Amino acid sequence: MKCLILLTIIICSLHAIGQKISLTQVIAHRGAWKNTGVPENSIAALQYAIELKCWGSEFDVHLSSDSIPFILHDHSIQGIHIEKSTAAQLAQIKLSNGEPLPTLEAYLAAGKSQQSTRLILEIKSSSISKERSLALATKCVQMVQKLNVASITEYIAFDFDVCKKVKELDPSATVTYLNGDKSPNELAAAGLDGMDYHFSVFKQHEDWLEISRKKKLITNVWTVNDAETMRWFIDRKVDYITTNEPERLIELLK
C-alpha cells in the first residue's frame, strides 16, 4: 500500500514538472548582440548565441556585385551598398568590434564546430531584381552544402519564390516563410515547412497556430522582446520565438 502511495506521488510530481516544461525554443535575432555589446550579425554575436545555448541564431545574407554572399541586415553599411560593391571592396569594411564584414562562408565555418545551435539563414530580397534574389538562394544552398552544414542550417525568406527555390535545390532543407501573407494551407500546398511571422500576424490569425500544429508545420514568431508577448506565445505553444533578448526569454522558459 505504501509503495502504491509513493508511486502515485512520484507520478503526480513528474506530471507537475512536465506541465512547467515548455516546448518553445529560443532563436537569437541576428545573434546575441544587444546585451553583449557586439555588433549584430557578427561572428561574435553568433558565438555568444552558441554560449547561451540558443536553439538557433538568425542572420541575414546579401549578394555582392560579383556574387559573393555577405552577412548584413541592411542593404548598406557605412555608406556602401552591398549589392553594388565587389567582394574586395566589402572585405575592407570593419565592424565596430574590429571584425571584418563576414562572408557567408566565414560565418558558416564559425558555426560548424558545434551542433547545438542551428544556423537560421535569412536570404534577403534583392533591392535590384528578383533574379538576384534567386541567384542568392542558389549561392546560399551551394555554400551550405560545400561546408557540410546542412544538418544545422535552416532557411527563411520574405520572398515566396525564394523559399520555393531553396526547396527545389534541396528538398530536405527546412524552409519557412516570413512575409505573413500566406495561410497554413497555402504553405503546405507549396511544400514549405512552416511560417515565421511577425507577432502581429499571429495576433490577428491566432487559429493559424493550431492549424499549423495539425498540419505539422513549424511556427516561429518575430521579433518578440517583451516578457508579456513572449508569455502569450509560450502559452500558445509556438515552436520558436525569435528575439533580440534571448537572455530574457531563456529565463522566462526556465
Q: Is residue 28 part of a domain?
A: yes
CA atoms of 61 and 95, how far apart (whole Å): 16
The number of beta carbons lying within 10 Å of the beta carbon of residue 9 is: 10
pLDDT band at 22 (very low <50, low <70, confident <90, very high): low
CA atoms of 203 and 46, how far apart (whole Å): 30
Query: How much is the pLDDT for 16?
Result: 41
Judge whether residue 1 has pLDDT over 70: no
Instruction: Report yes or no: 64 and 49 within 8 Å, Cβ to Cβ.
Output: no
Q: What is the DSSP string of 146-202?
A: HTT-GGGEEEEES-HHHHHHHHHH-TTS-EEE-SS-S-HHHHHHTT--EEEEEHHHH
pLDDT band at 217 (very low <50, low <70, confident <90, very high): very high
Q: Is residue 2 part of a domain?
A: no
Number of structural domains in the chain: 1
Q: State pLDDT tens for residues 96-134.
A: 999 999 999 999 999 999 999 999 999 999 999 999 999
Q: Is residue 239 part of a domain?
A: yes
Q: How far is CA 163 from CA 124, 132, 175, in A?
A: 11, 14, 6
Q: What is the DSSP string of 50-80?
A: HHTT-SEEEEEEEE-TTS-EEE-SSSEETTE
Q: Is residue 4 part of a domain?
A: no
What would the grid cell of residue 55 be? Answer: 536553439
Query: How much is the pLDDT for 55?
Result: 98
The CATH number given to whatever domain includes residue 211 is: 3.20.20.190
What would the grid cell of residue 157 be? Answer: 525568406
Q: Is residue 194 part of a domain?
A: yes
Type and span of the H or E element at 3: helix 2-20
Q: Is residue 12 part of a domain?
A: no
What would the grid cell of residue 244 be? Answer: 533580440
109-113 — which CB contacts under 8 Å span 24+ positions? Answer: 109/147, 110/43, 110/46, 110/47, 111/46, 111/50, 111/57, 111/149, 111/152, 112/147, 112/148, 112/149, 112/152
Query: How much is the pLDDT for 124?
Result: 98
**Averaged over 169-185, what is the pLDDT?**
98
Range of the domain at 145: 23-253
What would the grid cell of residue 138 be? Answer: 542558389
Q: Is residue 5 part of a domain?
A: no
CA atoms of 41 and 71, how far apart (whole Å): 7
Judge whether residue 192 has pLDDT over 70: yes
Q: Is residue 193 part of a domain?
A: yes
Judge whether residue 11 has pLDDT over 50: no
Judge whether residue 189 has pLDDT over 50: yes
CA atoms of 195 and 206, how far apart (whole Å): 13
The number of beta carbons lying within 10 Å of the beta carbon of residue 228 is: 7
CA dihedral of residues 48, 234, 25, 159 (deg, nearest 10): -90
- What letter does residue 99 receive in the DSSP assignment? P
Query: How much is the pLDDT for 19?
Result: 38
How much is the mean pLDDT over the chain? 93
CB-neighbour burial class of residue 124 (10 A; exposed 0-12, middle 13-18, buried 19+):
buried
In the chain, % of residues over pLDDT 70? 91
CA atoms of 159 and 98, how far apart (whole Å): 32
